[in-house]
Amino acid sequence: MKDVIDVMQLQREKSRVRVPPIDYRESQSPYAASRYIFECGIKLDAQPLTIATATILFHRFFKETDRNSYDPFLIAATTLYLAGKVEDDQIKIRDVINVTHNSLHRGSAPLELGEEYWNMRDAIVQAELLLMRMLRFEVTCVHPHKYMFHYLKTLEGWFEPAEWRKYPIVRSSSSFLQDFHHDPSILEYKPQHTAIACINMALQVYGVKMPVVDDLEGMDWFSVFSEDATCEKIWEIMEKIMDAYSNEPEED
Query: Domain segments of the chain: what residues?
Result: 31-134, 144-246
CA distances, 158 to each of 124, 205, 211 (Å): 48, 19, 7
- Which CATH homologous superfamily contains domain 31-134? Cyclin-like (1.10.472.10)
| Per-position b or e across 8-25, b if 16+ CB within 10 A of its CB | beebeeeeeeeeeebebe
- Residues near 157 by Cβ (< 8 Å), separated by ≥ 6? none
* 216-238: average pLDDT: 84
CATH number, domain 144-246, options 1.10.472.10, 3.40.50.800, 1.10.220.110, 3.30.2270.10? 1.10.472.10
pTM across the whole model: 0.85
* Span 79-119, pLDDT tens digits: 999 999 999 998 999 999 999 999 988 888 778 888 889 99
Give the number of other Cβ atoms within 10 Å of residue 241's Cβ.
Answer: 22
Over residues 205-210, mean pLDDT: 86
Same CATH topology for 31-134 and 144-246: the answer is yes
The tens digit of pLDDT for each residue in 152-206 reads 999 998 888 888 999 999 999 999 999 999 999 999 999 999 999 999 999 998 9
**Which distant-in-sequence residues (6+ apart) come within 8 Å of 128 by Cβ?**
78, 81, 82
